[in-house]
Amino acid sequence: MSDASHVALSTTPTLPGHEVVAHLGVVAASTVLAPTTWLEARSLGRTVLGGRVRAHVDLTDAAIVDAVERLRADARASGANAVVGLSVEPTQLRHCLLVIVSGTAVSVTETAPRADADA
């Protein structure tokens, strides 16, 4: 973790190859995006016929990326270089897409390779 501006993410309680040296608290971020009327009209055919609604997939992906970047900024501001236990929860809020991400901001250091790793 040589780049201080980088914040590693893990959905597990640990970060492989690293040791947690400090827990800095819970971090969370959210994003709410509303589909346009045009997007809703374009997706109507897929809703009726079935299949993947590409525009909604793109909207969901954009919301997740935005929320994760906000989470990383909050973690960096707390002095963390990683977030463990990351959770991503997309849901519908009226006609909007709400994405909440949360985790534990931590400070980690790389662990030395074990001497018996090659044995």
Query: Domain range holding 76?
Result: 8-118
96-110, strands of its sheet edge to edge: 8-9, 82-93, 96-110, 18-33
Cβ atoms of 17 and 108 within 8 Å: the answer is no
Name the β-bridge partners of 110. 18
> Is residue 1 domain-resident?
no
> Is residue 2 domain-resident?
no
> Is residue 70 domain-resident?
yes
> Is residue 18 domain-resident?
yes
Q: What is the model's pTM?
A: 0.76
What digits encode the pLDDT tens for the residues 35-88?
Answer: 765 555 555 555 555 555 677 778 889 999 999 999 999 999 999 999 999 999
CATH number assigned to the domain comprising residue 46? 3.30.110.70
What digits encode the pLDDT tens for the residues 82-111?
Answer: 999 999 999 988 778 899 999 999 999 999
Domain count, the chain: 1
3-state secondary structure 14-28: CCCCEEEEEEEEEEE
> Is residue 3 domain-resident?
no
> Is residue 19 domain-resident?
yes
